[in-house]
Structure 1
């Protein structure tokens, strides 16, 4: 009987302690930021000390504080990186596509919550399914909650290969894992499931609404007004002042082109991205609406908001907003990260070509430093941070229970003796 009580007590206390530790992990209890909150100089020095040696190719690292650039650093690579050097930003492209569509909405050319069927052409329509297509809106399309189950990831395409036309890609998109199909596989707005194919559809809609190619629309609506002077969707290997591709060992690699400029094809410089951040921080009606559109929570995982309309929602802020932006990654070792704190007008931009996940790692450290809370991209390491306190706690629980139950017969005996004496 005593053994049964011991096992039950041990199990219950272990579960309670483990739950506390996991709760603490997602709230940053077991992680140490690189610097004290507000100590920007110390944070920048810590990044230089811990991470810049991991750069095997090119890196641009920009920190903004209260709407001003306070640090701008570039790796001393053979490519002579500077603020105007073009980097491929991979999936960060989605953030800019969503911003462009937000501008269309503010101009009254599209209703973000209307059925996308209103804006498609007879040349391409969503394949029939058992789900209500009238619930598929642009807002859901760009937040990966539309019901699309393609899971795209677009394939790297060599320079020598001719890119397919947009309609051809809509009919048979080329995934990094083979061919995929754009179809609705779950009820719209009921779950989050990554869909690069939604951005192919967004391209088609933009071209149908505006009557011009997607690239021209983005230049006219986003890049030129925001003075993003180098941003474009052309093949990087035919341009000047570029960050060449390197693998994780620092070996020079081939550059690729991509089927969907809206999803993964943007090239931009650190100065371009800085201009974008500053534009969002202006505090005028246009920027406030754009932030609202981008950062409204729409996609959830494990009950936590992680995605808005084209933006990742990394962590909530005390004011009820989110640190938002987007990361991107492509082979061989391309990584980009942009984080914006709308409450403080602080931001970080990291661009790398050579160094697996280096940009995302640095940007995640910035998020932890800003808020004390780890962002959702760091989920695995965040949970892992709880393992040591869980293990130590279980050891303490085990030893404490052993000692308690060893002494318990003596306590019972003393209690019985006292009772007899009192009688």
Structure 2
């Protein structure tokens, strides 16, 4: 190699591993510092970290507020937050990457890899049914939805204690099954703890070590870790968690022995790096560590039951701007955030805040809505401009049961259909129009799925489907 070629190669290497560069959008285009500060004041949130992605690049980033409310210690671009459940898609990525390396199969029973803990017959009569794929998509039927936080000075249980129901608030018995694996969906942080133990037993490394080695270091995510506050390897620049009254919760730094479901710390810019890596992989572009196969595998819809769309780790239920997203939210006591990236075109948002749900959630929702509107991301539904058959309108009318206990009523008004009731488990939208798409299918603004009508044994039901997926679910007719 000539000296010139060596120099070019060296420069390219530096660029490849350089920290994420930000092509800043004009502050007036999205949110100014004054607007962010006003949001914090209005909703009583201590601090926030935001990054926005457009065309596979970070075009806006900002922080506001304080690590400890009233301290004067400002949050900056390097400040990390407890991300809560946003740990889950990272865990799923590690499992999928290990499968790609030939070290496991996602369709294997985790029992094959567990050595420090086992699936007891009493709780798991058919352990071969408890696969990585089901655990990572919350379809294994496992219990233990979420966990309480611990702080310095607490008697912190181990991850195995947690699975056994020992010294963990909320649970006094071992993790078990709520339904037959593969037959429904139920959010289970405990299922992710099983994955954590299996990955550690398989590799001989802790989950924080695996995450550091396989994702965080290669992607130069220097402000992200799965090490906990009681570890000497924990980060130094971190935001404290707060009560709703803006007082700090105990030491301010929650310790989560259940690392896989809720133990990661990060910030908006580092999560933007991960989102872009995923998006480039999905697009077939060059990436550093996440292959197209891994990106597709983890974002592929595994179920539409109950929740309306879930992959491996990634939520597939977002439809902001009528776009298709992979995403995940996080909510531990006094902290949390949201990360989301479009499946195409490289758009995304990462946002974190250190405050309780009443303060944090409206700030997050306001920022996301502002970004989607100001960057003109919203797409129109593919409406068919034709008269909806009168019989179809009449047949659709009725009450239906969503898989999470909600009753949805569909009624006809002026040759249009309208619904009342939540279509998604965690949606705040409770009414709207059903827009005719074609071939008997209807769509809804901000809803990712399509609705059509089926009749089985003389009883009608709504079929829930997603374009590009073979998964279906049903809203059965409500009893008269």
Instruction: Render the CA deviation track for 1:363-418: whole Å, top value 9, x for unaligned.
Output: 65369754469994752x211568xxxxxxxxxxxxxxxxxxxxxxxxxxxxxxxx
In 2, Cα distance between the equivalents of 1:173 and 1:306?
A: 33
The answer to whether 1:190 aligns with 2:188 is no
Correspondence list, 1:80-99, <5 A: 80-99=74-93
Correspondence for 1:339? 340
Q: Does the Cα contact within 8 Å between 1:315 and 1:375 map onto a contact in 2?
A: no
Aligned pairs, number = 344
Higher strand share: 2
Which moved further from structure 2: 359-368 or 307-316? 359-368
2:150 aligns with one of 157, 167, 170: 157
Q: Which has the larger radius of gyration?
A: 1
What secondary structure, in the 3-state scheme, does the structure 1 residue paired with 2:209 have? helix
Q: Does the Cα contact within 8 Å between 1:364 and 1:378 map onto a contact in 2?
A: no
In 1, Cα distance between the equivalents of 2:152 and 2:277?
A: 34
In 2, Cα distance between the equivalents of 1:143 and 1:266?
A: 19
What secondary structure, in the 3-state scheme, does the structure 1 residue paired with 2:51 have? strand
TM-score scaled to structure 1, two decimals? 0.72
2:49 aligns with one of 53, 60, 67: 60
Instruction: From the superposition, tell whether residues 204 and 130 of structure 1 become closer, same or farther in structure 2 (CA, over 3 Å).
Output: closer
Instruction: Render the CA deviation track for 1:277-327: whole Å, top value 9, x for unaligned.
Output: 22223334844223212211123345x6321111111336999x9301210
In 1, Cα distance between the equivalents of 2:372 and 2:247?
A: 32
Correspondence list, 1:13-412, <5 A: 42=29, 44=31, 48=36, 51-53=39-41, 54-77=43-66, 78-121=72-115, 123-129=117-123, 132-151=126-145, 153-172=146-165, 176-236=169-229, 239-254=235-250, 255=252, 256-282=254-280, 283-284=285-286, 286-302=290-306, 305-315=308-318, 322-331=324-333, 333-354=334-355, 355-358=359-362, 360-362=364-366, 365=369, 369=373, 370-371=377-378, 376=424, 379=427, 381-383=428-430
Q: Does the Cα contact within 8 Å between 1:351 and 1:359 map onto a contact in 2?
A: no
In 2, Cα distance between the equivalents of 1:141 and 1:257?
A: 23
Which moved further from structure 2: 257-266 or 181-190? 181-190
Q: Does the Cα contact within 8 Å between 1:90 and 1:263 map onto a contact in 2?
A: yes
Q: Does the Cα contact within 8 Å between 1:126 and 1:183 map onto a contact in 2?
A: no
In 2, Cα distance between the equivalents of 1:62 and 1:250?
A: 24
Structure 1, gaps ≥5 residues long: 1-38, 387-423
Instruction: From the superposition, tell whether residues 317 and 265 of structure 1 become closer, same or farther in structure 2 (CA, over 3 Å).
Output: closer
In 1, Cα distance between the equivalents of 2:261 and 2:378?
A: 29
Instruction: From the superposition, tell whether residues 40 and 75 of structure 1 become closer, same or farther in structure 2 (CA, over 3 Å).
Output: closer
What secondary structure, in the 3-state scheme, does the structure 1 residue paired with 2:181 have? coil
Correspondence for 2:10? none
Instruction: From the superposition, tell whether residues 110 and 322 of structure 1 become closer, same or farther in structure 2 (CA, over 3 Å).
Output: farther
In 2, Cα distance between the equivalents of 1:272 and 1:362?
A: 21
Q: CA deviation at 1:96?
A: 0.9
In 2, Cα distance between the equivalents of 1:371 and 1:117?
A: 45
In 2, Cα distance between the equivalents of 1:83 and 1:257?
A: 23
Q: Does the Cα contact within 8 Å between 2:53 and 2:348 map onto a contact in 1?
A: yes
Which moved further from structure 2: 138-147 or 53-62? 53-62
Structure 2, gaps ≥5 residues long: 1-25, 67-71, 382-421, 434-480
Q: CA deviation at 1:93?
A: 0.8
In 1, Cα distance between the equivalents of 2:360 and 2:55?
A: 30
Correspondence for 1:396? none
Higher helix share: 1
Q: Does the Cα contact within 8 Å between 2:52 and 2:272 map onto a contact in 1?
A: no
Instruction: Render the CA deviation track for 1:222-257: whole Å, top value 9, x for unaligned.
Output: 111111112123444874221122222322332221
